[in-house]
Amino acid sequence: MRCLVIIPSKARPDNIKKYTIPFMQRLGLDYRIFVEPQDENNYKQYQSVVILPLNNQGLGYSTMYAKKYANDNGYDLIFKIDDDVKSIGEIEKDINKIIQSFKIPKVGAVVFPYDFEFYAKTEKLFSRINKRIQTCYIIRTSIYEPRQDVSTFEDFYEYLILRQKQYDTLYCSKHLIKCSPVGKGNGGLQVFDRSEMALKEIQIFKSIDPTIQVIEKPDRPWKYEPKFTDKKYKSKPI
């Protein structure tokens, strides 16, 4: 199976040199960095850059364009990674095994814990099914459904759609995401009003599945989050 790493990046060219390129060199997969026209000059020093048609359309727009690029170029899988991700454990040692897991027809995505969730780490490659998608994930191109009006919770949304389609996730708890603190730093989604975006996006979620609830997150820039309550979202050990 062919896998393309997609890296949406906005106003953070230094992260590419500092984090992205060293990680991609270790990983050894094809990758593309998707940036806005207004940032083209700042990223021109890097290879594998794809320029989006429009500026300031949000992460959903960028990932929509990246999905089309992957589809047009014959990639079976998309590995979405943020531009502030330093590593995902030592995933490069197991990436072939992880890709091979998609030979199981019901596997829709492989997901990872953050490194601050150190209690989740296992020596076993996969420890649970149907843990939620977050930040970095590998997903079948055919079921990846980014949309322009969902950016703050694009990972929640992909999980929602995946479960609606009755696919499973595999929780790769051997390799943990090491990145900047979630919601911190400059550039990226930080340039938008994330709390307003969050409420609008949660309403989209509820229109698809009315069982989804809203919880407050006053310590986060987005202030609110969707909560999955139906039993189909409950993860199980494997």
Residues in CB range of 70: below 8 A, 6 or more apart:
4, 6, 78, 141, 144
Q: Output the 3-class SS for 17-60.
A: HHHHHHHHHHHCCEEEEEECHHHHHHHCCCCCEEECCCCCCCHH
Using DSSP's 3-state secondary structure scheme, residue 196 falls into helix
pLDDT (0 to 100) of residue 141: 98
pLDDT in tens, 60-95: 999 999 999 999 999 999 999 999 999 999 999 999
Residues in CB range of 76: below 8 A, 6 or more apart:
1, 2, 3, 102, 140, 141, 142
Percentage of the chain modeled with pLDDT above 70: 95
CA proximity to 145, closest of 206, 94, 198, 71: 71
Would you say 230 and 211 are in contact if contact means Cβ atoms under 8 Å apart?
yes
